Structure 1
Amino acid sequence: MSMKEWMNLDIDELELVEVSEVEKQRVKQHVLKKRRQAPIWRRLAAVAIIMVGATTFTGFAFPSVASQIPFMDNVIDYFQDGDRSYKDFDIFSTNVGLTETSNGVTVMIDDAIYDGTNVIVSFAFETEHDFGQDVSISAPHWFSVAGEIGAGGSMQITKISETSYVGLARVTPFFKDEQYPETVNVTWKPKVFYSTTEDLKVKGDWSFAFSLNRLTGNKQLINQTVQHKDISFTLQSIEFTDISTIISYEQLVSDELLEKWDGVTPLFYITDDLGHMYVNGLSGPSTSVNSQKTLNGSTTFDAIQEGASQLIIQPVEMASLWNGKGHADIKLDPIIIDLKK
């Protein structure tokens, strides 16, 4: 339709179409996204650092600067897997837009999400150094969350040009009494970038800090227990957000079983009644305060596909000796969850 046709359009003749609440929310989030920026902590302190160390360090605390770098926007596109993984990340994420340069490496944080359990951050970096195909970051390389008592997670880094790389980090912080806050304060201070194939290490001074609000989710309490003679597994809850599904669990293991094995970890096989596979033999981060006897953890996967009415969660316990010295699988009864409409 041409601009002239738009200007002469009679809105009284338009046929209205029903739109679901989900689609309304997605449109709303998409419109508001460009105006929603992550709060930057200690901005005055950051400015002071820039002024003092201008010869070796450059920091940009404003998203407009980051957006001028061509590969900075929509970093998540490099990590899309088919139609499902992170498909709504760009709609519901917060634009962080922080950039810092040190020793020939410019590091940029693009977007981030806090879904109530996990913090997911997309980032990129551009370098004057020849790192080769594979780059890693020396510890401490994790994104840290204020108030956490521990954390687990993963990080992917992919080369996209001779000088540019993109990354995706997923961090699951653990808090005392498992009380997840409504807002998390996130910091990241990578120290060394190094090549896994070349003899090259680059030290620098990069430091980021930002805040994320929790995505609105719908938590469903389950508290359903399945047992083996040596294992009691309780699915405590399941939470649905716009981009993910999160199950939380507690597991008790007998002293007798732990005398034979160093640890017992639940692996999950998760499907719905329509046959969609969400998790295929994977686990998630967990914590224990009593040498693996009690385990508290969570696993995150894609949002439930439209039309599904049941979720089938099959735990398979992997009893193992550390350092790959042996393992055994213990299959528990499946847990079936009726999904609320």
Structure 2
Amino acid sequence: MNEEMKRFVEIDVDTIEEKSLTDMQKQKIRKNARTKKASNRTWKKVVTAAVVSLVAISGSVYALPTIASQLPFVENILEKIDPNFVPKNYVALATIINQVESSNGIDIMIENAVYDGTTLMVAYAIHSDKDLGEQPLIDTMFDIKGATAATGASSLEKSADGFYTGMIKMTPTFNKELDVLQIIWQPEKISNPDTNETFEGDWSFTFTMDTLPGKSEHLKITSTDDQAKIQINKVNYTDLSTVIQYEFNIDPAIMKKHPLSSIHFVKAIDNHGNEYEIHDNGGAISEDGHGFDWSFALYNLPEDVATVTLTAEIFYVSQSGEITSDMRELLEPITVELNR
């Protein structure tokens, strides 16, 4: 067993503290889940040139298919991540990746991943003797072949001394549905937001991910009021999640006054009265207020759920920053019949 893997295996996972997402983190995730694009839906990459000091770094990658049999590492680590952020059956459906890269004294391990046809979820861990802070920041998201756009959210927390656990969710947009994703992840630096210290490195991962089998149902359910029109277009069912896709149009007068406005579903109640957390995947919106490619996921819906009543909220946002209660307005609920 290589040294990088030994460092992971020797960690006592029972000492890792479970932490829930704070209100600030949840708001940050919601902010990251929104993206604003022009109506031509083009994908643009911005490259920033910077002068940096040269550092000596080295990287190595290992595929470790036997680690799961040596230690129930994945299951134990995922128990430490906020359960509201991960579906209950994630472990049962996820594909084992077990790749470790070591660079500049920092080990990054991709444990496993799953793709439900809408969102890619990847569980990973970091180990280092360096102080990365309570909530380290990684500068790079996944590069998925064929994606024309993407939104994402992540959770990364210090779980024990020198050990960090995280989950990245990324929702790519494609011109056509893909059965297999080809994924590259090449982080270049990790930052400690508490001290503003940055650690450069050369980590590089490449892996593929099959799409979970599922069923799709095309719908056309609309709701209109004075501020906006919402239309639910599709529901995707898999064993991992129920994903609802929608689009909307916000009154141009509102967009002129609040150009960063958007609509998010914030409440879901089934026909038994049970409420579910909304996992917002975000989407794109044009300057005239047309929101497209928006979706959200519901986890752990029982088989006997026949309908869900969904409540959306319009966010009146003029500029980036904190969203306060006076900037929100609830819209009329929409009931969706589920035909799984």
- Bin the TM-score by the shorter chain: 0.7 to 0.9
Aligned partner of 1:291 among 274, 287, 293: 287
Change (3 A) 1:188 1:221: same
Aligned to 2:54: none
Structure 2 matches for 1:1-341, cutoff 5 A? 56-64=58-66, 71=73, 74-81=76-83, 85-137=86-138, 139=139, 141-176=140-175, 179-268=176-265, 269-279=267-277, 283-288=280-285, 290-291=286-287, 293-296=289-292, 297-324=294-321, 328-340=327-339
Cα pair 1:150 1:175 within 8 Å, conserved:
yes
Return the alpha-carbon distance in structure 1 between the equivalents of residues 87 and 238 of structure 2. 12
1:58/1:106 CA distance change after superposition, 3 Å = same
- SS at structure 2 position matched to 1:63: coil
- Name the CA distance, whole Å, in 2 between partners of 1:334 and 1:294: 20
Give 3-state SS (helix, strand or coil) of 2:203's partner: coil
Q: Name the structure 2 match of 1:3.
A: none
The aligned amino acid for 2:222 is T
TM-score between the two structures when normalised by the length of structure 2: 0.75
Q: Kindly tell me: are residues 65 and 340 of structure 1, through their superposed partners in 2, closer, same or farther at Cα, counting changes over 3 Å?
A: closer
Partner secondary structure for residue 304 of structure 1: coil
User: Which deviations, in whole Å up to 9, do the C-alpha atoms of 1:173-219 show, x marking residues without a partner?
Assistant: 1123xx33111111111111121223532111000011111111121
Q: Percent identical across equivalent pairs?
A: 24
Q: Which has the larger radius of gyration?
A: 1
Alignment partners' CA distance in 2, 1:307 and 1:67: 36
- 1:133-157 CA-to-partner distances (Å, cap 9, x unmatched) read 33211x2x21221111111111111
Q: Distance in 2 between matches of 1:107 and 1:261?
A: 41
* Residue 130 (structure 1) shift: 2.3
Q: CA RMSD in A?
A: 2.5
In 1, the alpha carbon distance for the partners of 2:209 and 2:270 equals 31
Decide which moves more: 305-314 or 151-160.
Answer: 305-314
Alpha-carbon distance in 1 for matches of 2:337, 2:74: 41
Report the CA distance shift for 1:69/1:200 in structure 2 as closer, same or farther (over 3 A): farther
Q: Deviations over 1:287-320 (max 9, x none)?
A: 13x3252111111121312432211111222222
Judged with a 3 Å threshold, the aligned counterparts in structure 2 of structure 1 residues 74 and 174 are, in CA distance, closer, same or farther, namely farther
1:87 and 1:59 mapped to 2: Cα distance? 30
CA contact (8 A) 1:274 1:308 kept: yes
Tell me the alpha carbon deviations over residues 153-179 of structure 1, each in whole angstroms, 9 at most, x when there is no partner.
111112222111111000011123xx3
Q: Aligned partners of 1:146, 1:96: CA distance in 2, in Å?
A: 18
**Structure 2 Cα separation of the partners of residues 315 and 201 of structure 1:** 39
Report the CA distance between 1:65 and its aligned residue. 6.1
Change (3 A) 1:274 1:194: same
Cα distance in 2 between the residues matched to 1:310 and 1:241: 16
How far the C-alpha of 1:132 sits from its partner, in A, is: 3.6
- More moved, 163-172 vs 306-315: 306-315
Aligned residue for 2:312, secondary structure, equals: strand
**Contact conserved, 1:115 with 1:241, CA < 8 A, in 2?**
yes
**Contact 1:66 1:99 (8 Å CA) reproduced:** no
Seen in structure 2, the aligned counterparts of structure 1 residues 295 and 284 have a Cα distance that, compared at 3 Å, is same
Structure of higher RCO (CA pairs closer than 8 Å, 6+ residues apart): 2
Taking the aligned partners of 1:152 and 1:195, their CA distance within structure 2 comes to: 23
Q: 1:99 to 1:68 in 2, by over 3 A?
A: farther
